[in-house]
Amino acid sequence: MSSASARSTPAATASSQIPPGLFLALMLSGYASMASMRICDTLLGPLAREFDTSTAQTAAVVSGFAIAYGLMQLIYGPAAERWGKLRMILLVLVGCMISAIWGALAPSLESLIASRFMAGGMAAGIIPLTLAWVGDNTPYEQRQATLAQLLGATIIGMMTGQWIGGIVSETWHWRVNFVIIAVLFAAAALLLAHNLRRQPRFQPAGQARMRDYITGARTILSSRWAQILFIVAFLEGAMVFSALAFMPLHLQTYHGISVSASGAMVTLYGVGGLIYSRTARQLLRRLGEPGLARLGGAIMLIGLAMALAPRWPWALPACALFGLGFYCLHGTLQANATQISEHQRAIAVSLYASLLFLGQSFGVALGAELVNATSTLPLMAGCGAGLVVLGWAFARSLRRHAGL
């Protein structure tokens, strides 16, 4: 593997100073995107009761979002290369607002699932294109630290979605959640539009054609290293997000905790992520990328093992540890994904994100069937064991790729 300095593109070095207002707009966009993604995690039980169905059926509001999120990456990659990443982000923010309004007004579970499918398809263009844009405008040696700052906003969005989902559902109604999400997306769109008018140099449109995209995707997919990263992304998405999606239900079922309390407890997952975002630079310097990946898998195993303890207080540190472990592994994977192709970064990152969220949809759907047939216990145990193996295997691949 080349050195960090060699991996920096001239464009990134020249424009490494991202205007604070623009970066704030991107952070708010990422925040709203993650809040929307996780808003239904604590609602599986309430939705099942309201629509008189099983949690396996209501889980489609989570898996439907993830499926659309993964599939639409195949569209946003070439679209961003053609019309510009920031323009595409602005467009999909408006689409996200519309889908949230639809969710608030949905008359049936089927309509709600359809609105969540649209929400996932629109939100798919936010974080992956932001990652690609940051990759274009930040040198590699600064990139993981910059992405960690962006990560802080997305983590808080994830925490907010899980937390307010339960509280708003119990205090008012689950539909109010989608009104809040619509307002967040509207604010993000207005802030981004304002900054784009002030900073036109950061929104150049590309000239890529579909033929260029197909050629670029074929080149990327033929890379052995890209194949490894995509496989790891799929497996990570399947195990992490299925465990995360069913953690509130696990706490509600085995410990008799309320919907709002279970949502609040699972937000501690985000606290672990925030710890990572503040310590990423030091951890990377001390452990290196392979060590960080191994540490992440091990911590996630410990966290999920603690979540299976017979007393509910163990779930508090368990969720925080799970979040810390995830972001140790995920941050390493994500930084490498932004470097798959310097000249076709949006395509590479979109393919990476597609596999990550298709993995999520696969994991949540499979987890729903497992939980419906047995309980949440086998799901949590299986994900913990699988993630520690994945972390060590990825660390080994990183060392081989670096020639260590």
Q: Is 256 left (phi over 0), alpha (psi -120 to 50) or beta?
A: left
pLDDT band (50, 70, 90) for residue 227: very high
Assess whether pLDDT exceeds 90 at residue 100. yes
Instruction: Say which amino acid occupies 86.
Output: L
Structural domains of the chain, count: 1
Q: Is residue 392 part of a domain?
A: yes
What integer pLDDT is reported at residue 208 of this predicted model?
Answer: 55
Q: Is residue 272 part of a domain?
A: yes
Q: Is residue 6 part of a domain?
A: no
Where residue 174 sits, what CATH number does that domain have? 1.20.1250.20
CB 239 within 8 A of CB 383: yes
Per-residue pLDDT tens over the stretch 367-404: 888 988 888 889 999 999 999 999 999 999 999 987 75
Q: How many percent of the chain have pLDDT more than 70?
A: 89
Per-residue pLDDT tens over the stretch 235-246: 999 999 889 888
What count of other Cβ atoms lies within 10 Å of the Cβ of residue 98? 15
More confident residue, 276 or 212: 276
Q: Is residue 11 part of a domain?
A: no
Q: Is residue 307 part of a domain?
A: yes
Task: Write down the pTM of the prediction.
Answer: 0.72
Q: How far apart are CA 128 and CA 134, in angstroms?
A: 10
Of the listed ranges 123-127, 160-164, 183-187, the least confidently predicted one is 160-164
Q: How far apart are CA 352 and CA 350, in angstroms?
A: 5
Q: Write out the residue range of the structural domain in which residue 397 sits.
A: 18-402
Per-residue CA distances from 50 to 46, 107, 166, 299, 364 (Å): 6, 11, 14, 37, 21
Eight-state DSSP code of residue 6: T
Q: Is residue 1 part of a domain?
A: no
Q: Is residue 248 part of a domain?
A: yes
Q: Is residue 13 part of a domain?
A: no
